[in-house]
Amino acid sequence: MLNNWVNRQDLIYLIRAVRSGRVWQIFQRILAGPARAVQATWNCTENPPIQFWDIPAVHLRANQMVTGDPQVDYITYLSRKYLAPRAPVTGLSLGCGTGLKELAWAGQGHWADLDAYDLSPRRIAAAQENARARGIAHVHFQAGDIYGLDWPVQHYDVVLADQSLHHFSPLEPLCANIRRTLKPDGYLIINEYVGPSRFQWTDRQIQVVNGLLALLPERYRVSWQDHTIKKRIYRPSRLRMMLADPSEAVESDKIVPTLERHFEIIERRDYGGTIIHPLFADIAANFSDSDGQRLVELCFQVEDVLLAVGELSSDFSLFVGRPKTGVA
């Protein structure tokens, strides 16, 4: 109803929040306003293993789809292909969190300096501690709002956004700033969720996910958070998404067209996630045994076939772009 701003599932969500004691947190976020709500959401440094990327086989599959080798990750692949020939490079990372990805990039050995920003001071403190523990001094972690940055013109060789761009809004001025801060031959490297904004999944996605859930044995569908049985997924209401995290997938369906206006895309690698992302949410930790791994492979096959025949499009993609000239 009302373009899915609210739906019947909101009542179930509220009941579960009351039972789990999370209802006060929800009201606190409402009272705090969107900006503080986003910061509160991302002010944690540890996350439970409840998402599809917490399943090791998901990474191996993504590696195969992106690099052609399940044992070679995208950071290694892109570092060898784009950074090594022009090393040492200077870079900027947007939404770095606890800095694990940035330290992985730094570990490839092609960097002079990497400036990394995140909104959460707590996460930046954890990133700084991680860097000190590894003896890495050329990655500079700083707390700050990227919309308030001083963007030096044609300064960076590389700008990174790793699962962060879908949390930023508005995208248009941000991409313009990224384009201007890159050197003319610099690279924008993005690893992103580019599916429906606010997780407004398509009818076909929901149909396939619910069909797979019906096939999974009950013991694999036990929710991590409240130990209920996951029977179906529903398109979350926009209100619920905004209450949970006002930044989540806020303009994700605009990422690709916005990138294409500002950058020449020289490489794009789609790696699915369209089905397995909503399917394994909150139940990913259940698939660690051998039977669970076989079920995961079955779900991969279903998604792969539907992507191959054009029935679905990929919700996760890797992009490498160069700044376009003559763009206002």
Instruction: Please state at what angle helix 23-32 crosses helix 34-41, rounded to 10 degrees.
Output: 130
> Checking phi first, is residue 166 left (phi over 0); if not, alpha (psi -120 to 50) or beta?
alpha
Asked if 183 and 249 count as a contact pair (C-beta separation under 8 A), the reply is: no
Spell out the residues 6+ positions from residue 258 whose beta carbon is closer than 8 angstroms to its own. 171, 172, 175, 251
Q: How far apart are CA 132 and CA 120, in angstroms?
A: 19
Spell out the residues 6+ positions from residue 68 whose beta carbon is closer than 8 angstroms to its own. none
Q: How far apart are CA 77 and CA 144, in angstroms?
A: 30
- Give the CATH number of domain 51-216+249-323: 3.40.50.150
What is the structure's pLDDT at 30?
55
The H-assigned helical ranges of 33-165 are 34-41, 56-67, 74-78, 100-106, 121-134
Which long-range contacts does 181-185 make (Cβ < 8 Å, 24+ apart)? 181/92, 181/151, 181/152, 181/153, 181/154, 181/155, 181/156, 182/154, 182/155, 182/156, 182/157, 182/158, 182/322, 182/323, 183/154, 183/155, 183/156, 183/157, 184/154, 184/323, 184/325, 185/322
The pTM score is 0.90
What is the structure's pLDDT at 18?
62
Residue length of the chain: 328
Distance of CA 136 to the CA centre of its chain: 25
What is the DSSP secondary-structure string of 3-54? TTTS-THHHHHHHHHHHHT-HHHHHHHHHH-HHHHHHHHT--S---S-SGGG
Asked if 167 and 145 count as a contact pair (C-beta separation under 8 A), the reply is: no
Q: From first to last of its 328 residues, what are the pLDDT tens digits of the chain?
A: 567 888 877 666 666 666 666 656 655 655 555 655 555 555 655 677 889 999 999 999 999 999 999 999 999 999 999 999 999 999 999 999 999 999 999 999 999 999 999 999 999 999 999 999 999 999 999 999 999 999 999 999 999 999 999 999 999 999 999 999 999 999 999 999 999 999 999 999 999 999 999 999 999 999 998 899 999 999 998 888 887 789 999 999 999 999 999 999 999 999 999 999 999 999 999 999 999 999 999 999 999 999 999 999 999 999 999 999 988 7
Asked if 282 and 224 count as a contact pair (C-beta separation under 8 A), the reply is: yes
Secondary structure (3-state) at 289: coil
What is the structure's pLDDT at 38?
56
Kindly tell me the sign of the dihedral angle through the C-alpha atoms of 54, 57, 308, 303. Answer: negative
Quick count: other Cβ atoms within 10 Å of Cβ 53? 16
- Which tokens is 295 given? 């079920």
Asked if 37 and 246 count as a contact pair (C-beta separation under 8 A), the reply is: yes
What is the structure's pLDDT at 3?
78
Q: How far apart are CA 290 and CA 96, in angstroms?
A: 34
Output phi, psi for 155, to 5 deg: -105, -40
Strands 316-323 and 263-270: antiparallel
Q: What share of the chain is helix, strand, coil (3-state, %, to 5)?
A: 50, 15, 35
